[in-house]
Structure 1
Amino acid sequence: MEDNNVLFKVKEQLAKDYNCKIEEFNNNNENLITELKIMEGRRKYSNDKEILKILIINGKAVISADNCIKDWCIENLSKIPGEWMFLYSVLRRIDKKLNEFGYEIENTHHYYLPNNTNNIDINDFKLKWYEKDDIFQFKGDDRFDEAFAFNNNYPDTLAVAAIDDNGNILGMAGASEDSDIMWQIGVNVLPVAKGKKIGSIIVQALKNEILRRGKIPFYGTIESHIISQKVALKAGFYPTFAEIKVRKLKNEK
């Protein structure tokens, strides 16, 4: 799957997620505010009602807002450049407004798309693959909390492990089916294997296999996780878009 085709298909998915048209990602750098709707084929990460989602792509913000907060977004967020939407001062204002409706910012992530497929150089370990049904054996295994989510909204669908000569797992990369076309990669490397480039190698292997199956791998991390960002770059990904996700406030005990 060529880079341009990958990006077009991702924009198709994001248009479903944010109730807009593909061309609106490219026409200018002015922010776009849309009505938050449940679109067929959208990515879904929570069973709670959504009231706000924010996407940053091509230097602009695409804000999908429920009617309860849409006017506030128009007044307060329309003129903030997408590049600066994740400033803490801006996030604090958004979070404070969300609190009025019983919500809060859950996280800010930026996401990477694949450049291409690459040959993999493996010396000190072997790869072992796990299909969807095989993955359930790792449910409850805290070693792989980033590789697997075990969530019905984005089911784990494929994984690859680095295995040493004694059959021990050194690291695991897993893919969740976030939509019909986009599979998200998460990775865990065990402490004994840190510093051996295992993370980038198994992420690269999983990326190549997902592309071979006609799907689009993508990789997400947070701004402060420099190690994770390096894994993405070494595995042949490049940064493409970012999102703010919100959740209902948890009841204080």
Structure 2
Amino acid sequence: MMLDRKTVIQTVKAVLAADLACDEADFDVDGVSIRQAEIRGGRFRFPIREQSLTIVTMGRGVVVSCNRERLEWARQALGNEADGQIFAARTVGEISAFVQRDKQLLAGPDQKYVCSSADLKDFPIPDGINLVTYKDNDIVGLYRHAAFKHALSFRSDSARSDRIATVAERGGTIIGIAGASEDCGRMWQIGVDVLPEYQGMGIGKAIVGTLTKAVLNEGIVPYYTTEVGNLRSRQLAASLGYWPAWIQMYAR
């Protein structure tokens, strides 16, 4: 199944609106929208904390989603900020100080990338590397390989189950894994790990590219998360045709 860029963007917007309990239009208008967090169908399957705070932008409007007790603070502290300043160091510091009162940490800002069928770029498979792709129950057998903690959930009972994994082998030894977790019905998250001694050889690009193609063939939007400061990870995503779709930070 082919997913074009327009369809991917529409999917991201719909899932984020469900996740933040906001209107899709909130992402397309200037300014900051404050919304009370609630569980809606179609959202990501991450739990909503009792003391919740999530801040997202797709490039224009900013959406702040939080529990009811934090709404007034959010309106006073963030509601009148210019949307471009929400992720500035000063504002991030103020938000971090606020959530620390509840013994929470502010995670992010994280950069979220997505890819479409048309945008996925060709990628080489390094010489001597064999790639194998597993699906669903066949992935459980990979859980004994504990070195690849960023690629797999290692939980067969996870609410965000591992759906597809691409494995890189050399001489019969697994040296890299890229996995896709079913974070919601329409978007699966890509994670990747390559053993340190094999990094920088193009293995990560090969397994993420192969996995991305498999996810897109399922009619699902693949997304990839990296910290803003992780330049190597961001370069990997961009080299395969992923583009930045949204920025997010949240209290945990």
TM-score (norm 2): 0.90
Q: 1:49-105, CA deviations, whole angstroms, 9 ceiling, x for partnerless residues?
A: 352111111232100121111111111112333333233322221122223334331
In the alignment, is residue 222 of structure 1 matched against residue 224 of structure 2?
no
| Equivalent residues, number | 245
In the alignment, is residue 144 of structure 1 matched against residue 148 of structure 2?
yes
Match of 1:239 in 2: 244
Structure 1 vs Structure 2 CA RMSD? 1.8
In the alignment, is residue 118 of structure 1 matched against residue 115 of structure 2?
no
1:243 maps to a residue whose letter is Q
In the alignment, is residue 34 of structure 1 matched against residue 35 of structure 2?
yes
Separation in structure 2 between the aligned mates of residue 226 and residue 91 of structure 1, nearest angstrom: 20
Match of 1:153 in 2: 159
1:220 maps to a residue whose letter is T
User: Structure 2: where are the runs of 5+ without partners?
Assistant: none
Match of 2:50 in 1: 49
Q: Provide the identity percentage.
A: 27
Q: Which moved more, 1:126-135 or 1:40-49?
A: 40-49
Match of 2:168 in 1: 162
Q: 1:199-236, CA deviations, whole angstroms, 9 ceiling, x for partnerless residues?
A: 11211111111011100000000011111111101121
Structure 1 segments, 4+ long, off by >4 Å, are: none
1:113 maps to a residue whose letter is V
Match of 1:3 in 2: 5
Q: 1:131-169, CA deviations, whole angstroms, 9 ceiling, x for partnerless residues?
A: 1212223336332111112352322111001222x1122
In the alignment, is residue 132 of structure 1 matched against residue 133 of structure 2?
no
Separation in structure 1 between the aligned mates of residue 4 and residue 59 of structure 2, nearest angstrom: 19
Q: Which moved more, 1:81-90 or 1:69-78?
A: 81-90
Secondary structure of the residue that 1:143 maps to in structure 2? Answer: coil
Separation in structure 2 between the aligned mates of residue 87 and residue 47 of structure 1, nearest angstrom: 25
Match of 1:250 in 2: none
Secondary structure of the residue that 2:177 maps to in structure 1? Answer: strand
Contact 2:143 2:154 in 1 (8 A): yes
In the alignment, is residue 192 of structure 1 matched against residue 193 of structure 2?
no
Q: CA deviation at 1:186?
A: 0.7
Separation in structure 2 between the aligned mates of residue 210 and residue 132 of structure 1, nearest angstrom: 12
User: Structure 1: where are the runs of 5+ without partners?
Assistant: 248-253
Distance change >3 Å, CA 154–CA 245, structure 1 → 2: farther
Contact 1:60 1:81 in 2 (8 A): no
Separation in structure 2 between the aligned mates of residue 24 and residue 47 of structure 1, nearest angstrom: 21
Secondary structure of the residue that 1:103 maps to in structure 2? Answer: coil
Contact 1:204 1:236 in 2 (8 A): no
Q: Which moved more, 1:185-194 or 1:47-56?
A: 47-56
2:68 maps to a residue whose letter is N
Match of 1:205 in 2: 210
* Partner of residue 24 from structure 2, selected from 10, 22, 25: 22
Separation in structure 2 between the aligned mates of residue 85 and residue 140 of structure 1, nearest angstrom: 42
Contact 1:118 1:208 in 2 (8 A): no
Contact 2:13 2:24 in 1 (8 A): yes
Separation in structure 2 between the aligned mates of residue 153 and residue 80 of structure 1, nearest angstrom: 36
Contact 1:107 1:244 in 2 (8 A): yes
Match of 1:251 in 2: none
Distance change >3 Å, CA 47–CA 10, structure 1 → 2: closer
